[in-house]
Chain A
Amino acid sequence: MSEKDRCAHRLALLGDVEFSTTDREVIASEIAEMERILTELEEFAQDTPWVSLQAQPIEKTLDHD
């Protein structure tokens, strides 16, 4: 899929939300930027088996003394 097609596919996810032509151009440029970032991060994360979801187990007690 070409970069243009991928961008159109993503913009379709916005559904009925309308933006001006100028705004759509900015959004498309941001999406292209994000796709480059995602490619870099996918490579970086390739050998990592786990995801990080930051949430504190509630049974932990922090002792201040």
Chain B
Amino acid sequence: MISDFLEADLTDLSWLISTRELSSTEVVTAALERLGRLEPKLNAFITVLDEQARAAAKTADDEIAHGRHRGPLHGIPITIKDMFATSGVRTTGASKILLDWVPNFDAHIVERLDAAGAILIGKTNLDEFGHGGTSTLSHFGPVHNPWNTERIAGGSSGGSAAAVAARIGPLSYGTETGSSVRRPASYCGIVGFKPTFGIISRHGSFRGAWSQDHVGIFARSVKDVALGLDATAGYDSRDPSSVQQNSPTYASHLDGNVKGLRLAVPRRFLEGTESAVKEAFETALKALAEAGCVIDDLDIPELSYAAMTSMITSSAESAGINRRWFRERHQDFVPHVARGLAVGMTITASEYLTVQRARHRIREALHEAYKKTDLIVSPTTPRVAPPISEGVKGNGDDTRHASNNHSNLLRFPSMLGLPGCSLPCGISPDQMPIGMQLIGAWFSDQTVLNAGLAYQSLSDSHRLKPPIEQ
């Protein structure tokens, strides 16, 4: 019975709790028990909030029993990346530097989730301060993929992705500076969504790179992502990039009708993609075409420079963010991260601005591209999750030259602030999940979610379950 309701998605769990067919206490207890059983295999968590979560669940049950149901997240067990400040609960960024730091304030998303009645059961593992694409660069050791614990979960939000894939809570929040939501979502076979820059406030989150950081959401269905977005989107004066917006209503505006929606495939960047990934992607495109999407190829040569522009930008900005710690405590950083910061420290202001000119040129190219298409679609990653032994070397697939390398497709959405979603679209012969990403124009978050919903109504890939403790 316990495993049955942990299998339910957020939408169904919410209904069961609101109608009191299930109590929040039952669901939270089951999620904590599952976490306890799987954590030795996954290493997905840095801090588990056992007592606090059980007490909050009891409060939620009392409120609901008295007719005070706060909404779809009320009583639902959730997790967040340990990048977000939590009042009274240690917040480490997976770094030795902040091993015992206990903030006296909550991050914006923590405030919002608390107001929505969500129950925080744990803070998830990551690459130190978000600097990495593997979730192996953590002071607390690597996160393991629930589909195969010898493989990486992807990063930097790997603990969040692994937790949702392993059915430890239906919803988790991470951050993305390069590809840190979409990549782990793809590797772990779940949905990962990063909204347009400014939609969710980053107040109270460690900075990876000011101009590229986003808060993102993990779930197993697009509908659940939309519910998670409604709960946390909105203007916040504490984040200078926050967008003025009315109360968000993404979930209620979900519409799976994609007739006439224009999808473009930037094929030059798919060279080198594994055959199983290519095959799953082409099958997904066929399904979307049958649903009414108009699919075409679109060449955007400027994207050849996206990965290196993004990497130099984040390298310089992260050096600026960590300047003091680097000077005073560089030996306490994970070695790979410390070396990356050292390189960033040597970038001059004029070099940084040159790179921002390159970034502007790529931005202009994308402005033009989105006059011809509604969404840019591609495999999220060119291959399935690599072994941990390979992942510990750093960022995995990233390129450092102007090239047709796929990592340009991973990097451009965060660099330009575009909304993007990775969806499961197949499984490889070695039983690892494959992801497809949909990238929209600025503020077309609803279109991205609608297309994702349409695809999930045509596919069963998001219902596949990792073999860990089946």
Contacts and interface: CB of A to CB of B under 8 A. Distances in A.
Q: Is the interface of B mostly helix, strand, loop or mixed?
A: helix
A45 B361 contact: yes
Given A41-B354, A45-B361, A34 B245 contact: no
Residue in B250, B330, B359, B416 with the greatest tally of chain A CB atoms within 10 Å: B359
Interface in A37-65: 37-38, 40-42, 44-45, 48, 50-56, 58-65
Contact of A53 (B211, B309, B402): B211
B345 interface: yes
Contacts of B309: 41
Interface in A10-52: 10-11, 13-17, 19, 23, 26-27, 30-31, 33-34, 36-38, 40-42, 44-45, 48, 50-52
Given A34-B347, A56-B198, A56-B242, A40 B401 contact: yes
Residue in A31, A55, A62 with the greatest tally of chain B CB atoms within 10 Å: A62
Interface in B340-395: 340, 342-343, 345-347, 351, 353-364
Interface string B397-418: 0001110000000000001110
A50 B359 CA distance: 9
B28 to A, nearest CB: 31
Contacts of A52: 356-357, 359-360, 362-363
Interface residues of A, number: 39
Nearest to B247: A64
Contacts of B193: none
Nearest to A63: B246
Nearest to B305: A44
Given A37-B400, A40-B401, A50-B360, A55 B326 contact: no
B240 interface: yes
Contacts of A37: 308, 311-312, 400-401
Contacts of B308: 37, 40-41
Contact of A65 (B212, B249, B360, B401): B249
Nearest to B312: A37
Nearest to A56: B198
A19 B342 contact: yes
Contact of B242 (A14, A58, A65): A58
A23 B351 CA distance: 24
A19 B336 CA distance: 12
Interface of B: 197-199, 211-212, 240-250, 253, 305, 308-309, 311-312, 315, 326-327, 330, 335, 338-340, 342-343, 345-347, 351, 353-364, 400-402, 415-417, 443
11 contacts: A17-B326, A17-B327, A27-B339, A41-B312, A45-B361, A52-B363, A54-B416, A55-B240, A58-B240, A63-B246, A64-B249
